[in-house]
Amino acid sequence: MHPKTKMTVLICLIFSISISLLFYYFNVSSSTKLASKLESEPIKLPPPIVELPNGTHKNLPAKQLIYRGELNSMDGVGYNFSDIDTTPFLKFHELNNLPNCDLSMDKLEPKTTSEKLLKGFHRCVDPIFENQLNPLDARNFSLKICDAIQKCDNIGEYKDVKIEALKNLHEIKWAILPKCKEDNVMVTLGIGHDVNAEVLLYRTLPKTKFYGADPIIEPNLQLYSSFGKFFPFALGDKAGMNRFKVLPNQNQKTRAYTYQDVTTIDLPYFFKNILNLTQIDFLWIDIEGGELTFMDHFHKGKQLDELGISVCQFNIELHPEFWPNGYEITHSFINQILKENRYIFLKPMTTTTGVYRLFFINVEDEKCVRKFLQ
Ligand SMILES: *[C@@H]1O[C@H](CO)[C@@H](O)[C@H](O)[C@H]1NC(C)=O
Ligand SMILES: *[C@@H]1O[C@H](CO)[C@@H](O)[C@H](O)[C@H]1NC(C)=O
Ligand SMILES: *[C@@H]1O[C@H](CO)[C@@H](O)[C@H](O)[C@H]1NC(C)=O
Ligand SMILES: *[C@@H]1O[C@H](CO)[C@@H](O)[C@H](O)[C@H]1NC(C)=O
């Protein structure tokens, strides 16, 4: 090689190396910045409980979730949940050893019966609605539900129904674990940047498919896709656009919900056409008012019945305050539930004015009853 050419090649080499180093530096520094920003606000996981060989249990320290890659709404990478597989929750092994489900007939010795549960439920709840509340006054009806029916959680008829508490960062989700083993379906409507309770269920219950929907993609996609399938839309009574209260990504710390136009898919379409479900074992609904557009779908003979979809148990946060005629809708929903004998409800909770949490158990659907109650 001619010395001059050699020189040019060398200069070119040095130039390109410095350019790549410069690029590398900027790339690294921007992703380090992003990483440190994410690491400064890691998501706390509940402390795992592990079973020791001698049958005792031990609490491990709470883990923190560190996001695996750069924050990218469509990468589906998710947070690093590598610790999940090795530290299943206390009941995991117990549930994993259950016999396979045969839901074609009643158990020979059922733990409880629908009749018993309904009898206790109505004996306790009905007088509260009849005597203490004027059913015409929708606002008072809703306001008083929670306080008044709290005592009904302790009736003797419920003693054979074990309801587990799954703690989220901001509330408790309730669940009855199955009495036999088969694939389970869990659907979350409204993730709200918080999957602690789902993770608890994921670590507790083998063979469960998780589906979650939220119109806010970041960080719900990353959180949910670590253990389930995420859908980037809201649920409503019809497909289209709706003004819903949502929790934007930038408000993670303040948890300030704001109104935004979001794309909605109608609930029956989501369950039937997208998810192809016939039975939902666990349904958690927390969508800041949007639920009031479709709660009537759960009644007898309505949309979900028409599609042959049963819901075995659901946690719902009702927001009559956030929705036009919200109190009237809540009032007629609860009234209809009381008449139908399909669901009983427990675990009433009120947070701020106009926000109510309830846990519903299906005591009508044979498969649900056989799987969770008998
Ligand atoms: C059970 O085993 C653990 C360690 O494996 C030990 O620390 C603990 O003391 C044991 N408990 C009992 C009751 O033997
Ligand atoms: C995930 O976290 C574990 C420790 O909890 C670590 O060993 C592993 O390298 C992490 N994986 C990734 C891809 O960051
Ligand atoms: C409803 O509440 C308001 C104020 O709290 C009270 O004045 C009214 O009497 C209540 N109505 C019924 C039917 O309880
Ligand atoms: C829907 O699920 C049923 C089983 O419940 C299955 O037979 C059917 O093939 C599924 N349909 C689609 C389109 O995946």
User: Does some domain include residue 151?
Assistant: yes
Q: Which of the four pLDDT bands, split at 50, 70 and 90, describes residue 65?
A: low
Give CA–CA dist 201/362, Å, rounded.
Answer: 19
Residue with tokens 């005592």: 151
Overall number of domains in the chain: 2
User: Does some domain include residue 133?
Assistant: yes
Give CA–CA dist 127/201, Å, rounded.
Answer: 35
Do 270 and 351 fall into the same domain? yes
pLDDT for the residue numbered 223: 82
**Residues near ligand 4 with C-beta < 6 Å?**
276, 278
Amino acid making up residue 80: N
Do 27 and 125 fall into the same domain? no
Alpha carbon of 322 to ligand 3 centroid (Å): 20
User: Does some domain include residue 265?
Assistant: yes
User: Does some domain include residue 52?
Assistant: no
pLDDT for the residue numbered 316: 95
Alpha carbon of 131 to ligand 3 centroid (Å): 14
Residue pLDDT, tens place only, 349-368: 887 777 889 999 999 999 99
Which residue, judged by its Cα, is nearest atom 1 of ligand 3? Answer: 140
Do 31 and 114 fall into the same domain? no
User: Does some domain include residue 318?
Assistant: yes
Residue pLDDT, tens place only, 269-323: 999 999 999 999 999 999 888 899 999 999 999 999 999 999 999 999 998 888 8
- Give the predicted TM-score (pTM) of the model: 0.75
Q: Which domain holds residue 2?
A: 1-37
Alpha carbon of 302 to ligand 4 centroid (Å): 22
Do 223 and 292 fall into the same domain? yes
| Residue 78: alpha-carbon gap to chain centroid | 17
Please indicate whether residue 83, judged by its CB atom, sits closer than 6 Å to ligand 2: yes
The CATH number for 107's domain is 3.40.50
Alpha carbon of 193 to ligand 2 centroid (Å): 21
pLDDT for the residue numbered 39: 36
pLDDT for the residue numbered 129: 81
Do 136 and 6 fall into the same domain? no
User: Which position has the higher pLDDT, 179 or 65?
Assistant: 179
Q: What is the mean pLDDT of the chain?
A: 79
Do 255 and 329 fall into the same domain? yes
Give CA–CA dist 12/109, Å, rounded.
Answer: 83
Asked if the model's pLDDT at residue 157 lies above 90, the reply is yes
User: Does some domain include residue 163?
Assistant: yes
User: Does some domain include residue 106?
Assistant: yes
Do 106 and 200 fall into the same domain? yes
pLDDT for the residue numbered 36: 35
Do 26 and 99 fall into the same domain? no
To test ligand 4's pocket by mutation, which of 103, 276, 310 has the most ligand atoms within 8 angstroms of CB?
276
Do 273 and 199 fall into the same domain? yes
Which residues lie closer than 8 Å to 40 by C-beta, 6 or more apart? none
Do 32 and 100 fall into the same domain? no
pLDDT for the residue numbered 251: 61
